[in-house]
Structure 1
């Protein structure tokens, strides 16, 4: 079985193709990760094609799709989710969602409590607390970096948000952004019935309203 995973909830576009045989450890076949701030629409589809090509596979070979559901900024996150749903419908394969913060935690392999924080712009972060890399203990939240320290005063914080606000959060190192390899590995573990963060519906975790607003009614012009 071939599982295609990708995430666009951060400044990175990350794509991976993983081979999975039930009862056997998953094996990454190809992967790409690059920082493309605010260019997700332009680069996601070409990067998917690149990963499939490097693995000698075609979309018809896929058995499942895994997509990061955020939290993340509205536009970038929407690109990944729309692409996942479109491919899933066209190919007739299931689409599974994974919290982007969970993917970062999973890749860290940390066994002691910690927090993950990613960039939410507006001088805020998306964040959550973990007992270990496979167990999230709070719902994802958005707020200023100080809010993380208020809730988790003594915990190390990883992720891009920690790197941006190291003066408050004390950057504890990587990973900074989600890895599609970790995304696929987490999903395969759960599909195999093993413990780990729950798979989610492929629906966005926005946590706040988008910046764009519908225009209001036109004002009447008096004679």
Structure 2
């Protein structure tokens, strides 16, 4: 019985060079050509691909489907050819994510940037073969992928909650700073009010003393001639 995963490929997006290919042993030339033709068409559309960009192409000649996925830097396009059109897409995408991570960790960005056409097929053969074998049973992998997606969703929710908490904390700090500033300004205003009141009182005392002195002087001016 033919395996479900028929083909895995790694291509460089920038110059559309096919760096590595791995075929299941029962794949015939016509089927190979079908996947390679589909991949070439996708690469032409992927010139402006962004990280996580994906595409899906039917391959009538092989009665299969080609799924493609751009890695986290949009450096490479990963491709998988699947013979079963009912194969869950999310499992195919998870497979391509795993391929992207393992290829990057195995070869490094510099090697992927400098590698020539087909030069990584041999170094990556065991890695790609193992992944094809692992993901061949979509049923078992679908459960794993579903759990991963739920974990990712939970992580997203937790990150959103943490973000909201941080934003609330910032808001509380802002309110606390505003309250502290207002309290400081109020204390300063109160002190200035006390000082101003004292200044007014002192000025009033000076005025009263000056008026008293003037009145006394006038009285003395009027009374002194009579005394003499």
TM over 0.5, yes or no?
no
More strand by share: 1
Higher relative contact order (CA 8 A, sep 6+): 1
Greater helix share, structure number? 2
TM-score (norm 1): 0.29
Q: Normalised by the size of structure 2, how large is the TM-score?
A: 0.29
Return the index of the structure with the highest Cα Rg: 2
